Structure 1
């Protein structure tokens, strides 16, 4: 499917922090209404966006905050492919997994990635405490 210029325009607004929140809402809307697919948005990001990781993270979290859950992890995974050590992406994936109750998966993911970012380390501690509290007492 060919993506119209409007999507490119919205993605560039996100990239350059121009009416970012409104642009995020419009991107989420086209995804929810199935006007464009995840891969269509990624194609535009690949071809037309300079700060790909920033835009992918922003859209992923925007989808999470606006109940478009099917798109959250895929956008964050693409960001992770561009930069496997990006602390924002690592944190965002761990955070989303935690918020949907996948504590073990979040902790496992964060343990696989060697990231010394303070936010990531704090999130790991919070998840570990949550896992310990959920464990049955023997």
Structure 2
């Protein structure tokens, strides 16, 4: 990307870092929206049409989310339902967690590892930004939820 052409060749200052970050915001937002449309809308609807799958709720109104928990539930309903059914509920039932905290933590960590693994295979490099985003937000939400439900 032209914004990062001289990144690493010149001295790293707050001005250069800020210009690089703000220069990458619009293209990265466009890639996010186009990726959302391509994968969660077009691709999954095409497979649902070929397989004659009637329920086509792949995402809900994530753009109206007011919290991270609501965003994670509505952004990708397919992944959320799979994580809830096979990771969260199984970690509570099989591993015997009595409280929601360890189940939520294991779900966020497994989701973060799986997403980072897909990025490693796709882009052929390891940059744990998505892992930190998923695990960090998940752990923050976990701390807030545990604090809220214990008092």
Same fold (TM over 0.5): no
TM-score (norm 2): 0.28
TM-score (norm 1): 0.30
Higher relative contact order (CA 8 A, sep 6+): 1
